[in-house]
Structure 1
Amino acid sequence: MIEVRTAHTADLDAGTLSAARSLLDDAFAGEFTDLDWEHALGGMHALVWQGSELVGHGAVVQRRLSHVGRALRAGYVEGVGVRPDQRRRGHGAAVMGALERVVRGGYDLGALSSTEEALGFYAALGWKLWLGPSSALTPDGVVRTQEDDGGIHVLPGTVALDLTGELTCDWRDGDLW
């Protein structure tokens, strides 16, 4: 039997945070960095438990995105992963369902950057591939992030979006998207 729980980072104990970090290390085969983990903190987490074992994780944090001259509150999805031996059992969809509820209830839109392997997964859940150019508002001004084009998805919410227009994210250390 699986159970999906949501909780803010501040409400998770050290053991749960450690288990989530370890799960993401396994899910991303050692490619999940400390900065990636930092990006997943400070918001709401969706945790999928099978008994006492954590088998899935994802988080949504607030970011500012700019589109057609408007600053938008985005629920930005980070750190979505399922333990490798538990994949293809609906755990990822359960994580995303919980995160989408948070996004729809509190943000103008949802956004995420996907690995190439997960593009179909997000599309199947109704996330829309961003077709326009991406950029970031950096300390040096707006900088084009062409390497991220084709991997950004949005979950439309309360504002109209032109999926072919430019989308600009706020600055942060590590991966910008």
Structure 2
Amino acid sequence: MTEAHPTTPRTPEVRIVHTSDLDAGTFEAARALLHDVFDDMTAEDWEHALGGLHALVHEGGELVGHAAVVQRRLLHGGRALRCGYVEGVGVRADRRGRGHGAALMEALERIVRSGYDLGALGAADEAAAFYAARGWQLWRGPSWALTPHGIRRTADEDGCLYVLPTVSAPLDLDTDLTCDWRDGDVW
């Protein structure tokens, strides 16, 4: 008699699509998913996830996970760094704990490491440990934004910003980090 071996859960398949290649149904499904995941999702928050690459996970033909990476410029140490900024990371509540979030982030981290000077994201308190376990590092220095009225302090964001360093840009996590301007939450 042979012994049965437990099956190993499959790694979710992640599809990478540029915003311009999202069909209307997937576009609307992604927006609806993020509105379900985040109670306070705004039109600007959705807009921040557009214009870059989307990582998508489907189960049974339904979109159950989304994350995006968009290009931004961050100022650090006298340099303008090309940043892969992660936005709109969400997994449907009934599909969490199955590796979807990890698969989404693995796909985006590969893109960040190969195409940008660094990765960055603003983490909600409940997600901070997830990102830290993946190698994202808490930015300990003060944060700023380059606004239409000059450089302004963004102290409310301190303690929420995480970066994924790459070999191309040495970072001092205890000094200033300044983001480019956008409507809504700048970080």
TM-score normalised by length of structure 2: 0.92
2:33 pairs, out of 23, 30, 40, with 23
Deviation string 1:148-177 (CA, Å, 9 cap, x unpaired) is 000000000111000001000000000000
In 2, Cα distance between equivalents of 1:32 and 1:47: 19
Q: For 1:111-122, what aligned pairs fall within 5 Å after superposition?
A: 111-122=120-131
Deviation string 1:97-134 (CA, Å, 9 cap, x unpaired) is 11111111110000000111111010011100000000
Question: Match of 2:155?
Answer: 146
Aligned length, in residue pairs: 176
1:73 pairs, out of 72, 75, 82, with 82
In 2, Cα distance between equivalents of 1:18 and 1:64: 28
Matched, 1:135 2:141: no
TM-score normalised by length of structure 1: 0.97
In 1, Cα distance between equivalents of 2:74 and 2:146: 9
In 2, Cα distance between equivalents of 1:105 and 1:16: 26
Deviation string 1:61-85 (CA, Å, 9 cap, x unpaired) is 0000000110000000000000011
1:61 pairs, out of 64, 70, 95, with 70
Matched, 1:9 2:15: no
Gaps of 5+ in 1: none
Gaps of 5+ in 2: 1-9
Larger Rg belongs to: 2
In 2, Cα distance between equivalents of 1:52 and 1:3: 12
**Amino acid in structure 2 at the alignment position of 1:147:** D
In 2, Cα distance between equivalents of 1:3 and 1:51: 12
In 1, Cα distance between equivalents of 2:84 and 2:154: 20
**Amino acid in structure 1 at the alignment position of 2:112:** V
Percent of residue pairs identical: 68
Contact 1:74 1:109 in 2 (8 A): yes
**Amino acid in structure 1 at the alignment position of 2:153:** R
In 1, Cα distance between equivalents of 2:61 and 2:20: 21
Where 1:76 maps in the other structure, the secondary structure is strand
Contact 1:66 1:168 in 2 (8 A): yes
In 2, Cα distance between equivalents of 1:167 and 1:92: 27
In 2, Cα distance between equivalents of 1:113 and 1:154: 9
Where 1:89 maps in the other structure, the secondary structure is coil
CA shift for structure 1 position 32: 1.0
